[in-house]
Amino acid sequence: MKFIKFFDKLEDTARGKLSRVPIIYGIIGGIAIVLFWRGIWHTADMFEGSGGILAILFGAPISTILSAVVLLLTGLFVSFFIGDRIILSGLTHEKKVEEKTESEVRAEGAILLGMFDKLERIEKEIEELKKDK
């Protein structure tokens, strides 16, 4: 558990610092993603080259079908290839986050904070009502 908390805090710190330099953040993230998928690809090639059942499972047609089924079952297919934000912004006819101005993003943040405060007050009122019963 300490191991997970350590990396969670490390991630928060890294994201906080890197978010101030988005181009560097993008370059580092892009390189890491490409290397990650390169490793997966080469591992699959190794399994395919080993022969037997692994060669069949990691062959192109079967691995495509299996991965599509897993992505569909987990709900990641649409989320990954299209993205939730794009779908939601299309349904609500809003701008994408990267098209919004800083003032629009700040205004949305203020609205969300206001909603959060209201929810906290409602929770407290519900707890008080429960205690009174």
Which pTM does this prediction carry? 0.52
- With contact defined as beta carbons under 8 Å apart, do 55 and 49 qualify? yes
Residue type, 95: K
Closest CA to 25 of 15, 35, 33: 15
Round to whole Å and give the CA distance between 49 and 77.
28
Confidence band of 85 (pLDDT split at 50, 70, 90): low
Q: Which of 2-6, 13-17, 49-53, 77-81 has the lowest mean pLDDT?
A: 77-81
pLDDT at 28: 94
Average pLDDT over residues 39-68: 92
Q: What is the pLDDT of residues 101-128, one digit of tens each?
A: 777 778 888 888 889 889 999 999 898 8
CB 84 within 8 A of CB 70: no
Instruction: Determine the 3-state secondary structure of 82 from DSSP.
Output: coil
